[in-house]
Amino acid sequence: MNNVGIIGYGAYIPKYRITTQEIASVWGKNGEDIQKSLGVSQKSVPNIDEDSVTLSYESAISALTRAQIAPHLLEACFIGSESHPYAVNPTSTIVAEFLGLGNNYIAVDLEFACKAATAGMQAIAGLIASGKISYGLTIGVDTAQSRPHDALEYTAASGGAAFVLGGDKKEILANILDFSSFSSDTPDFWRREGIRYPSHGGRFTGEPAYFTHVLGAAKRLLEKTHLQPTDFSYCVFHMPNGKFPREVAKRLGFTPDQLAPSLIVDHIGNPYSASSLLGLASVLDIAQPKQKIFLVSYGSGAGADSFIFQTTPILIKKRRLAPLFASFLKDTQTISYSQYLRFEQKL
């Protein structure tokens, strides 16, 4: 990519949390065993008045604050999610209206499981590189759904991550050096229209799905750019649980220290489309100038997008302008399973 990168980023996490132990106790399970198996101790839960629109708005406000541009300059608003509030009625135009984008922008709602927003980042980067637009906004957001007493109930979380992209090197806090993708028809996770909860292939979601695609996208980009894991300061991988990102990082040759700052799953679970991008936001909160970041998202169905970012000195100044990811881990409230059901069902 030629002078295309992130000029602003933002995160938002609901304050409520439910622990793995609390969910397990309702179903007569051993919480410690499940926590050890999944590598998740708690997950974030949206309040009764929060959905993917409100989470998108909150994260986008922080991204625009860091970008230091007027909302009407954005010429694209792409929102990736598995939990758009409406089956027919775009999330992107609602969020854009609240933000004040005006009318002259491309609005797109994206769906590709947990990698929808990174697909949006690729598309907006291409539009900027081609000269069609100057600025664009991509948001990964979910209030993830899960069937009661399913393994996903312990991990399916909520959160939003927003990124403003631009092409002026004086504004870029992290350049997009290159990206790649790896896709196939691998139905490891699905939900038909009108069905409330998703289904999944159990253990099939691991080796032939997640690992095949994440490794495929990662290796292709490393080969394409002639870079090695040792060339990077940080790595970020999609986090369906606490074990998969650690295992895939190890297989690729990344160290625990390179991975640790991105592991938001340890604190909030898996917010689906926001997962890898919240991991990136967490890394940008601590990264220093001229450091390379390797990121691979993953979406069931299935596909993976890989990226290489390189930070600039502008990052240090801009990240002070909005709340850091760590701030959302301080003001939290643990809830009971009955409260969790009320919030989830908006009763």
Would you give the distance in Å from CA 150 to the centre of its chain? 22
Task: Catalytic residue, from 82, 153, 171, 344: name it.
Answer: 82
Asked if 82 is an active-site residue, the reply is yes
Task: Catalytic residue, from 84, 200, 213, 238: name it.
Answer: 238
Asked if 238 is an active-site residue, the reply is yes
Task: Catalytic residue, from 58, 84, 114, 344: name it.
Answer: 114
Q: CB of 13 within 8 A of CB of 143?
A: no
> Which two three-digit tokens encode residue 165?
């992209």
Asked if 235 is an active-site residue, the reply is no
Preceding amide of 302 cis, omega within 30: yes
CA distance 336 to 339: 5
Q: Catalytic amino acids?
A: 82, 114, 238
